[in-house]
């Protein structure tokens, strides 16, 4: 082979050896899933949570919920209280004395919505095959909605025959006692009955009417917010 040809061909061959393969094109994303993930969740008047990509952290497990990027502040707490009062006609009665103070909450070691439902008598039979989706947070009874400005962390439910289960975990910028006072008053107003108790670190209100049973557990968080588990079945 002609030596001049080899000298001319060698540089392009060496250059080709040093090149890296171009990255594969990104996988296509289901447009319906992308749209659902980008929608604001529950009360987000400033649409700060419209895109979870802007969240500081995201949780793991069956549901994936954004941890709020903005820390709670007195203004957001007062806005939540004001909206809660409006839902109940302008005022929220003070809580009565708790009927009992249990050492341990029944959901203290329940890590998921399904486990929480399985720990409670009125929802136990419907806890299997729970569907995890934030849409369940919007399908609660009118008397037991997510507390105003609540930010859902996890939601699950099912509508199997004999079941209308909804389990929602969320946080709010007010105290646990304020949350429980709201649900206690709302349930009484709706004729659902309400029993207030303490269980471990949780403030709890439970009740029901006919086939419907509910429980609300609220506990304080270090940043001044409250974490809430709301369970409704029937």
Query: For residue 67, what are the β-bridge partners?
Result: 57
Helix ranges (H only) for 91-233 are 113-118, 176-189
- Which pLDDT value is given to residue 73? 85
Take residue 53 and report the two structure tokens written for it.
């990509």
The overall pTM is greater than 0.85: no
Burial class from Cβ neighbours inside 10 Å (0-12, 13-18, 19+) for residue 60 reads exposed
Give the domain ranges of the chain: 68-233
Give CA separation, 185 vs 22, 139, 153, 190, 206, in Å: 62, 20, 24, 9, 12
CA dist., res. 62 & res. 155, Å (int):
9
**Shortest CA distance to 41 belongs to which of 178, 180, 176, 155?**
155
User: Which residues in 118-155 are b (16+ Cβ under 10 Å) and which e?
Assistant: bbbebbeebbeebbbebebbeebbebbbbbbbbbbbbb
- Which pLDDT value is given to residue 19? 52
Chain segment 58-107, per-residue pLDDT in tens:
333 444 444 444 457 899 999 999 999 999 999 999 999 999 999 999 99
Chain segment 140-197, per-residue pLDDT in tens:
999 999 999 999 999 999 999 999 999 999 999 999 999 999 999 999 999 999 999 9
Mean pLDDT of 1-13: 46
Task: Name the least confident of 22-26, 112-116, 128-132, 156-160.
Answer: 22-26
- Which parts of the chain are beta strand (E)? 57-58, 66-67, 101-102, 131-132, 151-158, 165-172, 195-199, 202-209, 212-220, 226-233
Take residue 194 and report the two structure tokens written for it.
């309400």
**Shortest CA distance to 231 belongs to which of 163, 141, 165, 139?**
165
Chain segment 197-226, per-residue pLDDT in tens:
999 999 999 999 999 999 999 999 999 999
Cα 11 to its chain centre, rounded Å, is: 60
CA dist., res. 87 & res. 190, Å (int):
12
- Which pLDDT value is given to residue 104? 96
Coil, helix or strand at residue 223 = coil
CA dihedral (33, 37, 39, 42) positive or negative: positive
């Amino acid at each position: 082979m002609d030596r001049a040809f080899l000298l001319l061909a060698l540089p392009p061959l060496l250059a080709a050896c040093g090149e890296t393969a171009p990255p594969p094109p990104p996988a296509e994303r289901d447009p319906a899933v992308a749209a659902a993930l980008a929608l604001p969740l529950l009360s987000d008047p400033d649409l700060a949570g419209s895109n979870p990509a802007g969240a500081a952290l995201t949780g793991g497990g069956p549901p994936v919920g954004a941890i709020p990027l903005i820390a709670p502040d007195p203004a957001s707490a007062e806005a939540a209280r004001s909206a809660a009062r409006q839902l109940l006609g302008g005022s929220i009665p003070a809580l009565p004395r708790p009927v009992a103070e249990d050492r341990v909450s029944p959901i203290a070691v329940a890590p998921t919505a399904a486990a929480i439902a399985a720990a409670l008598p009125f929802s136990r039979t419907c806890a299997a095959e729970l569907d995890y989706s934030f849409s369940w947070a919007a399908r609660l009874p009118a008397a037991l909605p997510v507390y105003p400005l609540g930010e859902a962390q996890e939601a699950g439910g099912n509508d199997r025959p004999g079941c209308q289960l909804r389990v929602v975990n969320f946080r709010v910028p007010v105290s646990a006692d304020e949350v429980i006072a709201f649900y206690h008053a709302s349930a009484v107003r709706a004729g659902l009955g309400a029993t207030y108790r303490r269980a471990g670190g949780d403030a709890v209100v439970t009740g029901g009417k006919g086939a419907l049973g509910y429980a609300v557990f609220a506990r304080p968080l270090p940043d001044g917010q409250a974490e809430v588990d709301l369970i409704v079945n029937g």
